[in-house]
C-alpha cells in the first residue's frame, strides 16, 4: 500500500476529523473537486487523486474501449490500486469516518471500490455514475450510506441504468438515497445539497 501511488492533492481538515476522497470526471484532475469537497464536509481532510489513464490527453481512472464500454481488466487493475491507495491514507490518518465522492468517471471508480471493499467507506456520493455491468459485491453493503445523483435526460448515464444500480445496491443491503434533476450530465445545486445532508447526517450520527 502506498499513499503516493497516484498524483494527488490534499487539503487538511480538523485533526481527528473525517477523511474525504474525491474522484474527478474524465478530463478533470486532482484540483477539480477539492473545493466542493471542502464545502460539503468542512471538517474533513480532502484527498483528491488524479486518474492515471490518459484518453487522448484526458485523465481517467480506467480505460474504456468506447463510450459506456469498459475495459474490465483495466477496471479491475484500477480498483485494486485505488483500494490500496485509500487504505494507506486511512491507515496514516486514522480518521473519525471515511467518505467518498465521485463525479462521472470518478463515480464509476468509487462505485467499483464500494463493490470491491464495502468496508472502506462510511458514506459515498456517486454523481452520475454509469455501471453497465452487474456488480459482484465482495461482502455486504449493510450499513453503507450511498447517495446516487442523476439527470433524467442524461445522455451519458441513462436513467434506467441509474435505477438498476440503485436496485443492485439496495438488494445488497445498502442505505441508498437517489437525487434526480430534470437535466443531463451536469451537477446541479440540489445534488450538492443532498450530498451535504448525507455527510452532515453521518457526522451527527443520524
Catalytic, 104? Answer yes
Asked whether the beta carbons of 10 and 2 are under 8 A apart, the reply is no
Q: Which helix (H) or strand (E) holds 55?
A: strand 53-55
The gap from C-alpha 55 to its chain's centroid, in whole angstroms, comes to 20
Residue among 24, 122, 145, 154 flagged as catalytic: 154
Catalytic, 52? Answer no
Catalytic, 66? Answer no
Residue among 104, 122, 145, 172 flagged as catalytic: 104
Residue among 10, 29, 84, 185 flagged as catalytic: 185
Give one DSSP letter per residue of 92-155, joined into a string. HH--S-EEEEEETHHHHHHHHHHHH-TTS-SEEEEES----S----SS--TT-EEEEEEETT-S
List the catalytic residues: 104, 154, 185
Amino acid at each position: 500500500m502506498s499513499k503516493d501511488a497516484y498524483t494527488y492533492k490534499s487539503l487538511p481538515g480538523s485533526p481527528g476529523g473525517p477523511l474525504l476522497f474525491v474522484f474527478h470526471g474524465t478530463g478533470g484532475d486532482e484540483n477539480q473537486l477539492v473545493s466542493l469537497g471542502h464545502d460539503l464536509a468542512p471538517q474533513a481532510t480532502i484527498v483528491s487523486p488524479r486518474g492515471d489513464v490518459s484518453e487522448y490527453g484526458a485523465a481517467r481512472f480506467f480505460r474504456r474501449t468506447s463510450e459506456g464500454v469498459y475495459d474490465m481488466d483495466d477496471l479491475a487493475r484500477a480498483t485494486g490500486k485505488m483500494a490500496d491507495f485509500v487504505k494507506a491514507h486511512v491507515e496514516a490518518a486514522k480518521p473519525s469516518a471515511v467518505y467518498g465522492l465521485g463525479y462521472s468517471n470518478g463515480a464509476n471508480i468509487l462505485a467499483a471500490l464500494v463493490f470491491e471493499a464495502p468496508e472502506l467507506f462510511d458514506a459515498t456520493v456517486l454523481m452520475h455514475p454509469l455501471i453497465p455491468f452487474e456488480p459482484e459485491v465482495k461482502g455486504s453493503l449493510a450499513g453503507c450510506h450511498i447517495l446516487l445523483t442523476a439527470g433524467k435526460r442524461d445522455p451519458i448515464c441513462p436513467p434506467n441504468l441509474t435505477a438498476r444500480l440503485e436496485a443492485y445496491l439496495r438488494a445488497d443491503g445498502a442505505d441508498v438515497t437517489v437525487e434526480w434533476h430534470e437535466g443531463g450530465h451536469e451537477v446541479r445545486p440540489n445534488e450538492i445539497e443532498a450530498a451535504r445532508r448525507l455527510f452532515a447526517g453521518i457526522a451527527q450520527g443520524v
